[in-house]
Amino acid sequence: MTFCKFFVFMIKNIMEEAYNNELWDEIKQTSVNLSYLDDLRAAKARIEPHYKGITAAAAIITAIVACLGESIPAKILAVLTALLTAIPLLFPVIPNAADFAEMDHLRTSVKEYLNALESLWFADAGIDRQKYRALKKNYVETETEISALFGKISPKRNKYAVEISERYLERFFTS
């Protein structure tokens, strides 16, 4: 092999390795996003019924106390009920049906993207760069929606998502 052929061969291998690393990093990040999205949805699903129960109980107690007369406890409970009703509007911690629908849609998009990346990774013919770029281009909008949904990620939740993702990748890619 001449020096020029060897040089071209080495450059090609370096480029292929860099591309493989980029794809692997994308698979890891997408897996973390999926894990975090699942964790966030589960956390919000745990909060919702408790919040609704507290709001309903406060409303019922307010109505009962209000029927008994205009007392200070009735006024306090009325304010409490008003605050409990306003909290989801002021702080989007308490999810509603639209939030769950959006999270389910995002989860489906992320899962489809991850499956497509994994298919590229395991393709026998090597990695199709054009297909990867097309996938990535289509995923940009979903990434933006995910960033808006996640907001500031707590270190504890991020660590948990990374651990879940690493377990998944280890199980799926090493077996």
101 and 174 together in one domain = yes
Quick check: is 26 in a domain? Answer: no
110 and 85 together in one domain = no
Quick check: is 116 in a domain? Answer: yes
Q: Which of 67, 94, 121 represents a domain boundary (last residue)?
A: 94
Q: How far apart are CA 132 and CA 120, in angstroms?
A: 8
Q: Which of 94, 118, 134 represents a domain boundary (last residue)?
A: 94
The CA-atom distances, in angstroms, between 27 and each of 12, 124, 158 are: 22, 18, 16
57 and 107 together in one domain = no
Q: Which amino acid is at 88?
A: P
Radius of gyration of the chain (CA): 25
113 and 153 together in one domain = yes
With CA atoms as reference, report the closest residue to 41 among 86, 97, 104, 83. 104
106 and 166 together in one domain = yes
64 and 88 together in one domain = yes
117 and 153 together in one domain = yes
From first to last of its 175 residues, the chain has per-residue pLDDT tens of 575 665 555 565 565 665 667 778 888 888 888 888 888 888 777 777 777 777 777 777 766 666 666 677 767 777 777 777 777 666 665 666 677 788 888 888 888 988 888 888 877 556 677 788 888 888 888 888 877 777 667 778 878 888 888 888 888 777 5
Domain span including residue 116: 96-175
Q: How far apart are CA 157 and CA 45, in angstroms?
A: 16
With CA atoms as reference, report the closest residue to 26 among 171, 174, 165, 167. 165
126 and 146 together in one domain = yes
Give the pair of three-digit tokens for residue 68: 């008994």
The per-residue pLDDT for 12 is 59
Quick check: is 38 in a domain? Answer: no
Quick check: is 35 in a domain? Answer: no
134 and 121 together in one domain = yes
The per-residue pLDDT for 37 is 84
Give the pair of three-digit tokens for residue 109: 């998009």
* This prediction's pTM: 0.63
Q: Give the end-to-end CA distance of the chain in Å, rounded to a whole number.
A: 37
Quick check: is 28 in a domain? Answer: no
Q: How far apart are CA 76 and CA 162, in angstroms?
A: 44
Q: Which of 94, 111, 130 represents a domain boundary (last residue)?
A: 94
Q: Which amino acid is at 70?
A: E
54 and 113 together in one domain = no
The per-residue pLDDT for 66 is 66
Quick check: is 83 in a domain? Answer: yes
121 and 140 together in one domain = yes
**Domain count of the fold of the chain:** 2
